[in-house]
Amino acid sequence: MKLIEDKAQQQGKHRQKNRYWEQNGIQVLRYPLPVGDYILVNDKVQDVLDRKAARGIEPKKMDFLGTYDVCVDSKFSIQELVSDICGKSHERFRDECILSQNNGIRLIILVQNDYEVVYNRNGKTIENYTITDLKDLHKWVNPRLWIFRSGKQAYPGATRGAVLMKACLTMEKKYGVEFQFCSSRDAGKKVVELLTKES
């Protein structure tokens, strides 16, 4: 089995996934992708790679349009998801959703998240459990809500779990994007499951 990882993915930040793939004999190639971070190398994708190699040139991201119909875009944390859905990266993320929709590509957003403990300014423990389903996202407590400076909440407008869940549901309905959640240690296995299940 071969996967392509988008060249824009920062190397070194995905060690757990890469370790899983290496241990399971899954080859990972790095090329620019028009949509998503990971795709399965199928016959059409392999044809692009072979034709470009025969000409001695690297594939460009648009060379892969029309070669795959499912991809996984991974988010390192729920906080990264907040940035894409409710923050500064929203327009870029929306454009990727539209590009996938216009090209018949099923875009699955895989959000890695792990159990965490957040402490508020009174030392009270607020526990976040691993979110496994979009419907549970309302339980998520944004750690930024518990950052205080000079006795005042530094980010009172930080996105709350319920707001993020509602925005994700809107994106699903409008653009057909799908949100999945898993722990960091299971992310490599989950990417493979999602890509092979749909191929």
The full set of domain ranges for the chain reads: 2-198
Could you give the C-alpha distances from 3 to 65, 74, 107, 166, 174, in angstroms and in order? 16, 14, 16, 32, 28
Which run of H or of E encompasses 54? helix 43-54
The number of residues in the chain equals 199
CATH class of 2-198: alpha beta
**b/e per residue 174-184 (b: at least 16 CB within 10 A):** ebebbbbbbeb
Cβ proximity of 33 and 39 under 8 Å: yes
First-to-last C-alpha distance (Å) of the chain: 12
Could you give the C-alpha distances from 149 to 23, 111, 121, 123, 146, in angstroms and in order? 46, 30, 10, 15, 10
Tell me the C-alpha distance between 89 and 18, whole Å. 26
Q: What is the pLDDT of residue 119?
A: 67
Q: What is the pLDDT of residue 121?
A: 67
Tokens found for residue 185: 């240690």
Per-position pLDDT tens, the chain of length 199: 999 999 998 776 678 898 999 999 999 999 999 999 999 999 999 999 999 999 999 999 999 999 999 999 999 999 999 999 999 999 999 999 999 999 999 999 999 998 777 666 677 777 777 888 999 999 888 888 888 888 888 889 999 999 999 999 999 999 999 999 999 899 999 999 999 985 4
β-strand 106-112 against 70-75: which pairing, if any? parallel
* Residue 55 DSSP one-character state: T
Which amino acid belongs to residue 102? Answer: N
Q: What is the pLDDT of residue 11?
A: 72
Q: What is the pLDDT of residue 126?
A: 74
Cβ proximity of 138 and 181 under 8 Å: no
pTM to 2 decimals?
A: 0.91
